[in-house]
Structure 1
């Protein structure tokens, strides 16, 4: 009988460093979609009391003890790094997303400029500061983007992870090629 071997979408990709940017694969742990039932109060603290995180406000994410809860749509959130608390099914549709999503991390000072070439978002810190979350297109790929102090976490459908990696690495290559070469002897 054949034995199945679990593989992540980008298992063979090593971190890519170019032009002061780093692209790497995220391994955040469990991913769970949470969609509140009509009438469930998104702001009620008991909803996710087991995690110590209130439901995120639109366009934001919250973190505590290595667990992230990111807004992902109207009355929807993505739970990253922990299993959902018991009893949550009474207030929300809870769906496992670990096998369906892949995460990428884009880090570096020029991360906003690189990502801006692929998304239709204003990524300036005044408009999209750390702690922000947005659903958008990464070129042609649906994505959830989380702004962090050092860059961005990007979640895409597993089936599109390789395309997202290629899109980001191509932008990094273009930006690196534009950097001035050091003068000989310096």
Structure 2
């Protein structure tokens, strides 16, 4: 019988699960976005970053900003609406690389890292300090928020059946994490 996980083990496992989920959800969403016609992909639809194209670029921008704050490495665009890549074909491998980078970072963390304070400046130059775990909560929640917008846009163009489930419980079931908990 395996040992019962401690609260610290579960705390660390939570962020590893979220990093895995993040990449899984992004792959599913990008797969659905690949079914859009070019005019649909770029159509201004009133989302906060306008289009599927603008929103997917925004998510990569913010992840790069946060990873720069977390690791001190990598490029960090200065504007949240920066368009890093002009096509979905170019954006996709960059997204996959960033998801891999984020997962590797998370896999290297322990409980002490998660409760340690992180000092950083936002894009306006305001200074903040808060526990790393709360920053990661924001990072993953932010991804979910904007993925939901893209999901809605795809559903509007292609119908509900074309937009995949992005539910965390679906990821847990597919990966066996639901039974493991």
Q: TM-score, normalised by structure 2?
A: 0.29
Q: TM-score, normalised by structure 1?
A: 0.28
Relative contact order higher in (CA < 8 Å, ≥ 6 apart):
2
More helix by share: 2
